[in-house]
Amino acid sequence: MDELSGMRVFVQVVEEGSFSAAARRINASVSSVARQVKTLEDALGAPLLTKTTRQQGLTDAGRMFFERAKAILDDLDRAKRDVSSFQSAVKGSLRVYLRTSAGDEVIVPALPEFLQRHPELEIDVTLADERVDLVTHGIDVAVWLGRLEDSGIVARKLSPSRRVVCGSPAYFRRHGVPEKPADLSRHNCLVYKANRYVGTWRFTRGEENVEVPVSGNLQSASSRVLLASALAGLGLMVGQKWMVQSALGSGRLVSVLDGYEVSPTDDDTALYAVYSRNRGLSPKVRAFVDFLVELFRERERQGGEAAQPG
User: 106 near 299, Cβ under 8 Å?
Assistant: yes
Same domain, 9 and 68: yes
Residue 76, domain member (yes or no): yes
Q: Please, which pLDDT band fits residue 265 given cuts at 50, 70 and 90?
A: low
Same domain, 59 and 17: yes
Residue 278, domain member (yes or no): yes
Same domain, 240 and 181: yes
How confident is the model over 27-38, as pLDDT tens digits?
Answer: 888 888 888 888
Q: What pLDDT, on the 0 to 100 scale, is given for residue 308?
A: 47
The residue-averaged pLDDT of 63-89 equals 75
Residue 308, domain member (yes or no): no
Same domain, 233 and 291: no
Residue 113 CB coordination number (10 Å): 10
Last residue of a domain, one of 60, 87, 114: 87
Coil/strand/helix, residue 224:
helix
Residue 137, domain member (yes or no): yes
Mean pLDDT of the chain: 84
pTM of the model: 0.59
Same domain, 51 and 135: no
Same domain, 150 and 274: yes
CA angle 297, 298, 299 (to 5 degrees): 90
Same domain, 21 and 59: yes
Element (H, E) at 122: strand 121-127
Same domain, 182 and 218: yes
Domain holding 184, by residue range, is: 163-263
Cα 155 to Cα 12: distance, rounded to the nearest angstrom: 48
Q: What pLDDT, on the 0 to 100 scale, is given for residue 20?
A: 86
How confident is the model over 28-72, as pLDDT tens digits?
Answer: 888 888 888 888 888 888 888 887 645 668 888 888 998 898 888
Same domain, 70 and 206: no
Residue 241, domain member (yes or no): yes
How many residues are present in the chain?
A: 310
The residue-averaged pLDDT of 211-236 equals 91
Q: How many domains does the chain have?
A: 3
Residue 101, domain member (yes or no): yes
Residue 310, domain member (yes or no): no
The residue-averaged pLDDT of 122-137 equals 88
Q: What pLDDT, on the 0 to 100 scale, is given for residue 195?
A: 61
Last residue of a domain, one of 52, 87, 122: 87
Q: The domain that contains 45 carries what CATH number?
A: 1.10.10.10
Residue 309, domain member (yes or no): no
Last residue of a domain, one of 65, 87, 109: 87
Same domain, 131 and 171: no
| Percent helix / strand / coil, the chain, rounded to 5 | 45, 25, 35
Q: The domain that contains 198 carries what CATH number?
A: 3.40.190.10
For residue 132, pLDDT beyond 50: yes
Cα 111 to Cα 113: distance, rounded to the nearest angstrom: 5
Cα 226 to Cα 162: distance, rounded to the nearest angstrom: 17
Same domain, 214 and 243: yes
Same domain, 132 and 275: yes
Cα 218 to Cα 30: distance, rounded to the nearest angstrom: 85
For residue 183, pLDDT beyond 80: yes
How confident is the model over 269-297, as pLDDT tens digits?
Answer: 788 999 988 766 788 999 999 999 999 88
